[in-house]
Structure 1
Amino acid sequence: KLNALGIKTALDLSEQSTWIIRKHFNVVLERTVRELRGEPCLELEEFAPAKQEIVCSRSFGERVTDYEEMRQAVYSYAARAAEKLRGEHQYCRFISTFVKTSPFALNEPYYGNSAAVTLLTPTQDSRDIINAAVKCLDKIWRDGHRYQKAGVMLGDFFSQGVAQLNLFDDNAPRAGSAKLMEVLDHLNAKDGKGTLYFAGQGMSQQWAMKREMLSPRYTTRYSDLLRVK
C-alpha cells in the first residue's frame, strides 16, 4: 500500500503529509512519520521496570520423600532468590514456599500446598529469607508423599533507601548484614556459584535436577564453546 503511494524509503515516508498517512493507514504510522522528522512521540523507558516478584523453583531429579532433602532444596532456592533480590537492589517483605507431587503419578494421591509469611521489616539478607522459607515449609510438609517440585517466591518489594525499620518488629536488622551479603555475592560471582553457600543447602544435593543431558550453552558459557584443532 505504501508502494502504491510512491513511498519506498524512510525518506519518502518522512516527507508525507501526516494527515494523509493517518487517513489511509493509522495513528501508529503517523507517529512513525513524526519520529522520522525528529518529533518525539513515544516516551522511552530510561530504566527497566522493577520486578514484582522473584520465583526460584525446579523439578527434582528424583522424587523427594525425606524432609531433610526437601529442607536443603528450600534452603538453596531461598538463597538463590535472595541473591536475585539483591541483584535487583530490592528488599522484600513477602516470602512464600510451595511443594507439590506429580499430578500425573499413577496410584499416588496428589498433594500440593503453599505457605507464606510477611515480615514487618523488609530485608534482603539471605539468612532472614531462608529462615522464613523454612518456617513456611514446616507448615506444609506432609510425610508419605513423593514430591516432584518445590519453590520459593519473594514479593512486596521496597527499593534501597526506602525500606525502613518497623518500630514493632522484635527482630532488628542484623549488624553488618549489607557488607556480609556484598562479600557473599562478590565471591560467588568472581569464583563461581556455590563458592560460598549455607550449610543447610547440603553438599551432595541428591534432590537436584539431573544435568547429564543438559544442552551445551554456547552463547553464555565459555567452557561450552566448540574447539577446532
Structure 2
Amino acid sequence: MFALVDCNSFYASCERVFRPDLQGRPVLVLSNNDGCVIAGSAEARALGIRTGVPLFQVRELIHKHGIAVFSSNYTLYGDLSRRVMATLGSLVPHVEKYSIDEAFLDLSMVPEGQLQRLGAELRERVKRWVGLPVCVGIAPTKTLAKLANHYAKQQEAGVEVWTSSDHWQARLAQTPVGNIWGVGRRLAARLAALEVHNGADMAALESGWVRRHFSVVQERMIRELNGEACLSMELCPPPRQQVIHSRSFGQPVVSLPPLRQAISDYTARAAEKMRTEGLLATRISVWLRTSPMGKPQQLWPDTLSTGLCQASADTRELVAKALQLLDQLWKPGLRYGKAGVMLTELCSREFSQGGLFEDRQSQRGQALMAVMDSINQSGKGRVWLAGRGMKGANECVWSMRRAHLSPAYTTRVSDLPRVW
C-alpha cells in the first residue's frame, strides 16, 4: 500500500501559516518579478482566477474582493516543505519526496483496518506541527494513490482509502483519461482516437497490446490502474545531473558591472547548492537574454560554456570562469532582462578523479569553502566574494521586483513573528 500526501494550495497555505487573519480570504502568489499568478487559494480559484493569468488583468478583482497578494517567497516555502517531510517521517519510516508539496509513503507494514485512521493522523499531525492542510490518498499502487488523493480533496475528511478494485473502479469511470498521472496532452489525444475517454477505459486495455503500440511506460500505467504495483519507492533520489540558477531582472540592465554582479551571485549560489550535496562540476555555462521590452531585432538568447581542468565546487574558481564567459557574451547597447548559470557534468566529491599535479592549494580551497558555508549557515553573519557587490541581492539594479514579499518567518531571526 502507498499513500500520497499532498499539501492543499501549498504556496497560499504557507503564506497563511503566520497570518491567521488570512483564513477564508482569497490569496494569490505571484511569479518572479510579480508578473503573473502562479498559485492561489481555493477562494481565489472560486473567483475565476487561474494560474498563469497576468497580474494586471486581475487587479480589478483584487481590489473588489480584497484579495491578499504575495510575491514568491521560496525561502519560506522550501523550509516549510522540509518540515512537512520531517513530520511525515515521524509517523512513517519510508518517505519519498515527490515534489515540494507532495510525498509518497510506504504503508506496506500497516494493517488494512488502520489505514483510514493513519491517514487522519497524518493530516492532524502536519496541521498541528507545521500549520499546513494536507489530503491523503491511499491505494495499492502509486498511480492509484495519486488519483485517490485527487478525490480526497473533495471530501471533508481529506482521506480516501482504496484497498480493493471495488473501491476504485467507480472512480476510474468518472476520471477523464487526461487526469490520470502520467497521461499528457499528446497521449490523451491518441487514446481518445481509440475511444479511450476515462480511467476505466484505459484500465480495460490489454497490457501486451499497449506495450506493442505505445511503450513499456504505458504498459506499467495500465498495470498500476489494475492494482499491480510497478513503481517502487525511491528512497535514494537519483544523483543530480545539473545545477541551475537563473533570474529575470527587475529592470533591464544595459551595462556590464551589474551583469558581473548578477552572474557572480548566481554562480556562488549554484556552488553552495552543489557543496551541500557533496557534488563537483566539470563544466559551466552562462546565458543572457535580452529584455522583451527592447526592439524586436534585440530579442535573442545567447549561451557559452566551457569545461574545467578539474572538477570543482570552489566558488572562486567557478565565478572566475563564469565571468570570462560573460565578458565574451556581453554586447554593448543591448537591454538584458535575464541571466543564468548552469553547472553540469557533475560527480560526487567522494569519487571524483583528482588531478595529477593537485597541490595543497586545492585542499586549502576546500577548507575555505567549508568555513564560508559554516558561517553563512550559522545565522550569525554572511561571507561572500566582493564580486557579488556590497549591497544585498535584493537591493541591486538587477534584483527581481518583489513588492509583496512576506517575511522569512522561519529562516531569518529579524523576521521572527512578534507577539505583543
For the superposition of Structure 1 and Structure 2, which TM-score range results when normalised by the shorter chain? 0.7 to 0.9
Q: Deviations over 1:144-167 (max 9, x none)?
A: 111111111101011022111244
Cα contact 1:60–1:209 (8 A) shared by 2: yes
1:186-229 CA-to-partner distances (Å, cap 9, x unmatched) read 1111126x710101111133222233332455676676566554
Residue 98 of structure 1 aligns to which amino acid in structure 2?
Answer: W
User: How many Å separate the matches in 2 of 1:197 and 1:213?
Assistant: 27
Deviation of the 1:110 alpha carbon: 1.9
Identity of aligned residues (%): 36
Aligned Cα root-mean-square deviation (Å): 3.3
Q: Map of 1:131-142 to 2, 5 A cutoff?
A: 131-142=320-331
Query: Which consecutive residues of structure 1, in runs of 5 or more, have no partner in the other structure?
Result: 1-8, 17-22, 33-40
**1:113 and 2:310 are equivalent in the alignment:** no
Does the aligned pair in 2 maintain the 1:97–1:136 contact within 8 Å? Answer: yes
1:188 corresponds in structure 2 to 376
1:53–1:155 CA contact under 8 A, matched in 2: yes
Amino acid corresponding to residue 90 of structure 1 in structure 2: L
Residue 179 of structure 1 corresponds to which residue in structure 2? 367
**Counterpart in the other structure of 2:399:** 208
Task: State whether residues 61 and 207 of structure 1, in contact with CA within 8 Å, keep that contact through their aligned partners in structure 2.
Answer: yes
Deviation of the 1:48 alpha carbon:
1.6
Query: Normalising to structure 1: TM-score of the pair?
Result: 0.75
Counterparts of 2:204 and 2:247, CA distance in 1 = 51
Query: Secondary structure at 2:351's aligned position in 1?
Result: coil
State the secondary structure of the residue aligned to 2:362.
coil
Q: Secondary structure at the match of 2:346?
A: strand
Alignment match of 2:238 (pick from 49, 58, 74) = 49
User: Whole-Å Cα distance in 2 between the matches of residues 164 and 173 of structure 1?
Assistant: 17
Alpha-carbon distance change, 198 to 13 in structure 1, aligned in 2, over 3 angstroms: closer
Aligned partner letter, 1:203: M
Change (3 A) 1:42 1:107: closer
How many aligned residue pairs are there? 204
Kept in 1, the 8 Å contact 2:253–2:397? The answer is: no
Q: In 1, Cα distance between the equivalents of 2:227 and 2:298?
A: 59
Q: Tell me, which stretches of 5 or more residues in structure 2 are unaligned? A: 1-110, 114-161, 167-202, 206-221
Contact in 2 for aligned 1:91/1:160 (Cα 8 Å): yes
Where does residue 37 of structure 1 map in the other structure?
none
Paired with 1:78 and 1:165, the residues of 2 have a C-alpha distance of: 23
Closer, same or farther: CA 152–173 of 1 in aligned 2, 3 Å: farther
Question: What is residue 337 of structure 2 aligned with on the other side?
Answer: 148
Contact 1:121 1:163 in 2 (8 A): no
Maintained 8 Å contact 2:292/2:337: no
Q: Which has the higher contact order (CA 8 A, sep 6+)?
A: 1
Q: 2:349 aligns with which of 160, 163, 185?
A: 160
Judge conservation of contact 1:98–1:113 (CA < 8 Å) in 2.
yes
SS at match of 1:176: helix
Cα deviation for residue 119 of structure 1 reads 1.2
Which segment is superposed worse, 181-190 or 100-109? Answer: 100-109
SS across alignment from 2:378: helix
Post-superposition offset of 1:141: 0.8
Q: Say if 1:164 and 1:24 are closer, same or farther in 2 by CA, change over 3 A.
A: closer
* Cross-structure match for 2:313: 124
Confirm or deny: 8 A CA contact 2:267 2:318 kept in the other structure. Answer: yes
Aligned partners of 1:83, 1:173: CA distance in 2, in Å? 20
- State the TM-score, normalized to the length of structure 2: 0.43
**Cα pair distance change 1:170/1:188, threshold 3 Å:** closer
